[in-house]
Amino acid sequence: MTRMKHRTERLTALFVLTALSLPGVALAQPAADPKPDGDAPVKPADVSLEEEPEKKAAAPEKKAAAPAASARAAEPAEKPAAKAKAKDEKPRAYTPFMDTRLSWTFGDDDFLHKTGEAFPLSPNASAGDRPQYRLFFDNLNSRFSGRENVSHVVLYSRLPGFVDKMDTEAALVMRVNMTELAAQSNNVNRVLEDAGTYLRVFYETGGDKKSPQGLGATFYPIDTDRFRLGYLYDITWGGTNARANQSIFPRLQGSAPGAKVQFDGPGFYAFGGFKTASIIEVQKRIVEGSGGEGSTTDTVRVAETNYGFLGGLGADATDFIHLDAGAGYFQQGRFEDPDVLGKRVFTYGFTGRVVFHQDMPVPRSADFQLYRNDPNAPLEQFKQEKYEPGKLSWAISGEATQLHQNLKDFDVPGATDIQLARAAAGQANLKFGYLRTSLSVIYRDLPFVLRNQPSFIPFQTLPNAAKTEDEMFVAASVDYFIESLRLTPGFGAGLQNPATFRSESVDLFGQDTSRTIVVREQGNLAFLPAGEKRVPIIQARGSLKWDISPMMSAIGWMQFRRDNNMTRLELDPSGTVLLRSFISPNFVGYGLAMQARF
């Protein structure tokens, strides 16, 4: 039965991909800039239900054919630039697949250690992506590393409403992960997953075609992971991606659908919305005795609806200053410990951001945008960077978040307490001619690193006797585009102090037996030897990118990591006791990649 089930899942996935890959033919206009989630959609073009109206309008009478040919012969020849432009604007076939990212990678993330000496394991050089290629300062504003092999099936439709100035649109969005398919895990949910399916209604009250103003309502029938609070992706909260340990709903069963309402005005916006999640909860029930006499109580585990509420606003204070703020409240099930059984677990918090910018847009994560596969206004997902010699543009942003989590008090039986979780980030991006530089500083305390667990001991506050250290890192990067060669050399480096949990103690002889646990992320822990403390982590990478075409690039890089918090278990000299010891802290790797984005 299991083998038949796995075969059925694979056949189902193959059938879906085959059916959706049949392209329809439609003419596409020049690409428009992508619109972020919540922005008003571009006003649709006039809709005609007649078949091939262009051909009907273009069909001349036979008698006019000769004069028209003479007129064309008398016209001067087209200029080369005009021919190139016409070639670039050649109509293309419409396809339901978009935002496709293909990467061929070959390399070794660590050639100084033998396989098995460090974790995660680093085998010999091979083709394929590895988690260790991603350094802690990479892609801070996205969940993706840039080396994925994925595509998105977007079945999209948009039509004017029957009410004047009302617009309707809907999209079924499914992510296809080819790496998971090649892994042959027989898990169709890892190969095919929802990537932001939605329905949207927008009522226009003003503005223009490029920036319409009005009231919009977005409905997420499957999942709301794209609907979050916060701005820099790495410190956002309120997501629902349980597979990546980014769900605000612990013990989430299935997905979390919801809805969002937003008003876009002249230079400002305001939104509110909600999510619903099914979470397993323990509830008391009364059980009648035999014969209807007497009764007892016991507990039962049931799936119950929990709610999350989100709201926020933002405005351009001036042409150079932008402000954002948001708040949210999320129910997270109920406690199962006997002394607090049935009490509500919840998190609420606030977040804010200020951006100073000139000739550079306000930063937004592409992971929050709605997919619009409109043949009349297709999204240009991967625009190549444009450089203007002598032009200076910059953006400086700062944001902060504070969460309040209701957890079981570790030190007081039968009580709950509010535990704070804090995070902050600052970024500076500057572009001058062909030169780009950036500086990032991020701070997260231990409760915020573990905000979705929640806390170090799940659902309990940190013990008063425990000592914790917060995470903080600073990173800088620079690259320069050589236009004549289409080459972009770059370099980036960062210093990180990871978050830690420390228990202090001494043995009968007065020797320090304190233990420190380094917490990099939820589920990624490193236990240090007795009495040892954390050491800063240094990471750096040098890279060279060659743009082969508007969609394809070749990239080579060398990377260095020095992490003296890596340990392993070894037998003591007697061969009877396992002791934790440090491994060599230096890790050197390299990689070569061919990447296509279309």
pLDDT per position as a tens digit, 397-445? 999 999 999 999 999 999 999 999 999 999 999 999 999 999 999 999 9
Q: Specify the 3-state DSSP secondary structure of 118.
A: coil
Q: Specify the 3-state DSSP secondary structure of 345.
A: strand
Q: Is 297 exposed, middle or buried (0-12, 13-18, 19+ CB in 10 A)?
A: exposed
| CA-based nearest residue to 348, from 310, 381, 377, 386 | 310
Amino acid 209: pLDDT: 82
Q: For residues 518 and 533, give the distance between their C-alpha atoms in angstroms, rounded to a whole number.
A: 9
Residue 9 has pLDDT above 80, yes or no: no
| CA-based nearest residue to 488, from 538, 551, 557 | 557
Amino acid 3: pLDDT: 45
Amino acid 380: pLDDT: 60
> Which residues is 174 bridged to in the sheet?
153, 194
Each residue's pLDDT tens digit, 538-562: 999 999 999 999 999 999 999 999 9
Residue with the two structure tokens 């903080």: 472
Each residue's pLDDT tens digit, 348-361: 999 999 999 999 99
Higher per-residue confidence, 88 vs 523: 523
| CA-based nearest residue to 199, from 27, 31, 41 | 41
Amino acid 292: pLDDT: 58
| CA-based nearest residue to 567, from 512, 521, 515, 523 | 515
Amino acid 82: pLDDT: 42
Q: Label residue 378 by pLDDT band (50, 70, 90).
A: low
Q: For residues 174 and 181, give the distance between their C-alpha atoms in angstroms, rounded to a whole number.
A: 14
Pairing label, strands 268-288, 499-503 = unpaired
Amino acid 94: pLDDT: 67
Residue 392 has pLDDT above 90, yes or no: yes
Q: Specify the 3-state DSSP secondary structure of 54.
A: helix
Higher per-residue confidence, 520 vs 507: 520
Residue 575 CB neighbours (<10 A): 6
Amino acid 120: pLDDT: 79
**With b meaning 16 or more CB within 10 Å and e meaning fewer, what string describes 425-459?**
bbbbbbbeeeebebebbbbbbbbbbbbbebbbbeb
Residue 7 has pLDDT above 50, yes or no: no
Q: Label residue 66 by pLDDT band (50, 70, 90).
A: very low
Q: For residues 517 and 524, give the distance between their C-alpha atoms in angstroms, rounded to a whole number.
A: 10
Residue 62 has pLDDT above 70, yes or no: no
Residue 16 zone, left/alpha/beta (φ > 0; ψ -120 to 50; rest): alpha
Amino acid 537: pLDDT: 96
Each residue's pLDDT tens digit, 255-296: 999 999 999 999 999 999 999 999 999 887 776 666 656 567
Q: Structure tokens of 11?
A: 């056949």
Q: What number is the average pLDDT over the span 568-585?
A: 81
Q: What number is the average pLDDT over the span 439-460?
A: 96
Q: Label residue 44 by pLDDT band (50, 70, 90).
A: very low
Q: What number is the average pLDDT over the span 517-530?
A: 90
Q: What number is the average pLDDT over the span 582-597?
A: 94
Long-range contacts made by residues 572-575, C-beta under 8 angstroms, separation at least 24?
none
Q: For residues 118 and 112, give the distance between their C-alpha atoms in angstroms, rounded to a whole number.
A: 10
Q: For residues 288 and 369, give the distance between their C-alpha atoms in angstroms, rounded to a whole number.
A: 54
Q: Would you list the DSSP string of 69-80?
A: HHHHHHSPPPPH
Mean model confidence pLDDT for the chain = 84
Provide the 8-state DSSP code for 182. Answer: H
Amino acid 387: pLDDT: 93
Q: Would you list the DSSP string of 428-485?
A: EEEEETTEEEEEEEEEE-HHHHTTTTTTTTTTBPPPTT-EEE-EEEEEEEEEE-BTTT
CA angle 159, 164, 170 (to 5 degrees): 25
Q: Label residue 55 by pLDDT band (50, 70, 90).
A: very low
Residue with the two structure tokens 């109206």: 53
Amino acid 294: pLDDT: 59
Q: What number is the average pLDDT over the span 387-406?
A: 96
Inter-residue contact 530 to 512 (CB < 8 Å)? yes
Residue 90 has pLDDT above 80, yes or no: no
Higher per-residue confidence, 330 vs 95: 330
The CA R_g of the chain, rounded to the nearest whole Å, is: 28
Q: Structure tokens of 119?
A: 């974790």
Higher per-residue confidence, 118 vs 64: 118
Q: What number is the average pLDDT over the span 518-545?
A: 92
Q: Specify the 3-state DSSP secondary structure of 120.
A: coil
Q: Which segments of 334-442 does DSSP mark as H helices, in order?
A: none
**What one-letter code names the amino acid at 50?**
E
Higher per-residue confidence, 502 vs 32: 502
Total number of residues shown for the chain? 598
Residue 161 CB neighbours (<10 A): 12
Residue 50 has pLDDT above 90, yes or no: no
Amino acid 59: pLDDT: 40
% of the chain residues with pLDDT over 90: 61
Amino acid 530: pLDDT: 83
| CA-based nearest residue to 227, from 252, 253, 255, 204 | 255
| CA-based nearest residue to 427, from 559, 235, 245 | 235
Q: What number is the average pLDDT over the span 513-523?
A: 88
Residue with the two structure tokens 């506050």: 461
**What one-letter code names the amino acid at 259?**
A
> Max Cα separation, the chain?
111
Range of lowest pLDDT (107-121, 498-512, 549-563): 498-512
Amino acid 289: pLDDT: 64
Q: Label residue 374 by pLDDT band (50, 70, 90).
A: confident
Residue 362 has pLDDT above 90, yes or no: yes
Each residue's pLDDT tens digit, 169-181: 999 999 999 988 8
